[in-house]
């Protein structure tokens, strides 16, 4: 197979159509295994209640064949599962779990010189380790949704006992790709705005990013993010504040923020914090004061705990047209759902 750079398809704009009753979406298993087949069937049943057909390959779930018996299957099978979904009939691909595993799948795709089908772009949905896949499809010029993985929401909390996203609902994600909203509006707290920044000005761009630790892992790789004229969005799992600071400083050194329109922080839970929100804000303010301002930061920095590894994980479209307006100590982000940037 002839090899081709990820960037070769990045100059093309690909969109996807809203789903309607009877359409199908496919579950993909690039990372951690589900708790059981019942875990998958429970989530499948909830999504299908909206009139959609949810398909998946039960043979893709053989964690006993994987390293550490952790992943949904061995890496070859996970690569095959993803390629089958990319080339299959469903226009929406929803990852079931995050955890670990996506980077191994991407490395194998790169070694193969895999080129995705250009005539049928897919909508990728997921978060956490799926950040690696968001970075991959961004190179293809595809849009994606940073949103809960299908297997970790309030709907299956009794099976997983995972506190992250325990108040998120599958239906909230389904409503978005069914087209019940053409744009999403979110409120952020303003952490910092440069003195020279005109608050009455509306910024236009597109959201890009994901889990901060994993975005850092893309630096220097074929899937490193293009953040020029974009709103850089970052969240992370529960972390020691020193490790979180190291990740953010590494991103700064890697140039992630250099040409950004704004920086949007999602949930950044801090280990052993009595007041999680204040601890998160303290960590981000420290990073702004000690590193971003001395670096010559000239863009606003905002925060909302509604995205990422917190109790909620609202849908954040990547690669679509977006705008940001500052009013007082707040910022209001409007993100289109399927209008390519």
Is residue 20 over pLDDT 50? yes
pLDDT, residue 198, reads 80
Cβ within 8 Å of residue 220, ≥6 positions away: 254
Q: Are residues 169 and 188 in the same domain?
A: no
Is residue 283 over pLDDT 60? yes
Is residue 120 over pLDDT 90? no
Q: Are 200 and 235 in contact (CB under 8 A)?
A: no
In which band, very low, low, confident or very high, does the pLDDT at 200 lie, cut at 50, 70 and 90?
confident
pLDDT, residue 5, reads 44
H helix runs in 184-333, sequence order = 212-218, 241-253, 276-287
Per-residue pLDDT tens over the stretch 48-80: 999 999 999 999 999 999 999 999 999 999 999
Sort strands 202-205 and 320-327 into parallel, antiparallel or unpaired.
antiparallel
Q: Are residues 168 and 209 in the same domain?
A: no
Q: Are residues 191 and 128 in the same domain?
A: no
Pick the last residue of a domain from 128, 155, 177. Answer: 177
Which residues sit opposite 301 in a β-bridge? 192, 263
pLDDT, residue 1, reads 36
Q: Are residues 81 and 216 in the same domain?
A: no
Q: Report the percent of the chain where pLDDT is more than 90.
A: 91
Q: Are residues 24 and 106 in the same domain?
A: yes
Q: Are residues 190 and 157 in the same domain?
A: no
Is residue 296 over pLDDT 70? yes
C-beta atoms surrounding 333 within 10 Å: 22
Per-residue pLDDT tens over the stretch 229-267: 999 999 999 999 999 999 999 999 999 999 999 999 999
Per-residue pLDDT tens over the stretch 165-180: 999 999 999 999 999 9
pLDDT, residue 2, reads 36
Q: Are residues 114 and 159 in the same domain?
A: yes
pLDDT, residue 201, reads 86
Least confident piece of the model among 36-40, 82-86, 100-104, 195-199: 195-199
Q: Are residues 332 and 233 in the same domain?
A: yes
Q: Are residues 25 and 172 in the same domain?
A: yes
pLDDT, residue 196, reads 83
Cβ within 8 Å of residue 36, ≥6 positions away: 159
From its phi and psi, is residue 308 left (phi > 0), alpha (psi between -120 and 50) or beta?
left
Q: Would you state the torsion angle of the CA atoms of residues 67, 159, 42, 137, taken in this order, to the nearest 10 degrees? A: -50
Is residue 96 over pLDDT 80? yes
CATH number of the domain to which 196 belongs: 3.50.30.60
Q: Is residue 1 part of a domain?
A: no
Pick the last residue of a domain from 161, 177, 193. Answer: 177
In which band, very low, low, confident or very high, does the pLDDT at 15 lie, cut at 50, 70 and 90?
confident
Q: Are residues 154 and 239 in the same domain?
A: no
pLDDT, residue 8, reads 43
d(CA 149, CA 154): 11
Sheet holding 316-318: strands in order across?
53-55, 24-28, 92-95, 123-126, 144-146, 316-318
In which band, very low, low, confident or very high, does the pLDDT at 4 lie, cut at 50, 70 and 90?
very low
Is residue 11 over pLDDT 60? no
Q: How large is the average pLDDT for residues 277-288?
A: 95
CATH number of the domain to which 82 belongs: 3.40.50.10740
Beta strands in 87-212 (DSSP E): 92-95, 123-126, 144-146, 183-192, 202-205, 207-211
List the domain range (segments joined by +) for residue 251: 183-340
Q: Is residue 277 part of a domain?
A: yes
Q: Are residues 100 and 76 in the same domain?
A: yes
Pick the last residue of a domain from 177, 209, 244. Answer: 177
- Total domains in the chain come to 2
C-beta atoms surrounding 197 within 10 Å: 14
State how far the alpha carbon of 39 is from the alpha carbons of 44, 97, 130, 148, in Å.
9, 11, 19, 15
Q: Tell which residue, 214, 125, 220, has the closest CA to residue 177.
A: 125
pLDDT, residue 197, reads 84
Q: Are residues 203 and 164 in the same domain?
A: no
In which band, very low, low, confident or very high, does the pLDDT at 13 lie, cut at 50, 70 and 90?
low
Q: Is residue 203 part of a domain?
A: yes
Decide: pTM greater than 0.85: yes
pLDDT, residue 12, reads 54
List the Cα angle 225/270/127 in 5-degree steps: 40
Q: Is residue 18 part of a domain?
A: yes
Which residues sit opposite 263 in a β-bridge? 232, 301
């Amino acid at each position: 197979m002839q090899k081709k750079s990820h960037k070769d398809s990045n100059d093309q704009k690909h969109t996807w159509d809203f789903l309607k009753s009877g359409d199908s979406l496919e579950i993909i298993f690039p990372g951690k295994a589900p708790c059981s087949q019942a875990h998958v069937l429970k989530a499948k049943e909830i999504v299908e209640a909206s009139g959609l057909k949810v398909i998946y390959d039960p043979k893709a779930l053989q964690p006993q064949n994987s390293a550490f018996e952790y992943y949904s299957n061995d890496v070859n099978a996970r690569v095959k599962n993803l390629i089958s979904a990319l080339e299959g009939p469903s226009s929406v691909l929803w990852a079931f779990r995050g955890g670990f595993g996506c980077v191994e799948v991407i490395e194998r795709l790169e070694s193969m010189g895999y080129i995705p089908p250009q005539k049928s772009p897919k909508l990728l949905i997921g978060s956490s380790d799926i950040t690696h896949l968001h970075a991959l499809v961004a190179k293809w010029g595809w849009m994606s949704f940073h949103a809960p993985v299908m297997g970790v929401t309030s709907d299956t909390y009794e099976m997983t006992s995972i506190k992250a996203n325990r108040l998120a609902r599958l239906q909230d994600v389904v409503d978005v790709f069914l087209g019940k909203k053409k744009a999403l509006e979110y409120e952020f707290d303003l952490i910092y705005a440069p003195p020279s920044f005109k608050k009455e000005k509306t910024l236009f761009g597109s959201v890009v990013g994901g889990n901060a630790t994993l975005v850092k892992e893309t630096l220097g790789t074929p899937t490193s993010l293009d953040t020029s004229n974009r709103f850089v969005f970052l969240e992370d799992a529960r972390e020691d504040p020193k490790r979180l600071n190291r990740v953010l400083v590494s991103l700064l050194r890697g140039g992630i923020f250099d040409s950004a329109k704004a920086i949007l922080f999602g949930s950044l839970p801090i280990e052993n914090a009595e007041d999680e929100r204040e601890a998160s804000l303290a960590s981000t303010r420290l990073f702004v004061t000690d590193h971003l301002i001395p670096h010559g930061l000239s863009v606003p920095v905002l925060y909302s705990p509604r995205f990422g590894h917190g109790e909620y994980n609202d849908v954040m479209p990547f690669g679509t047209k977006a705008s940001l307006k500052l009013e007082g100590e707040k910022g209001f982000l409007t993100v289109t759902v399927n209008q390519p940037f």
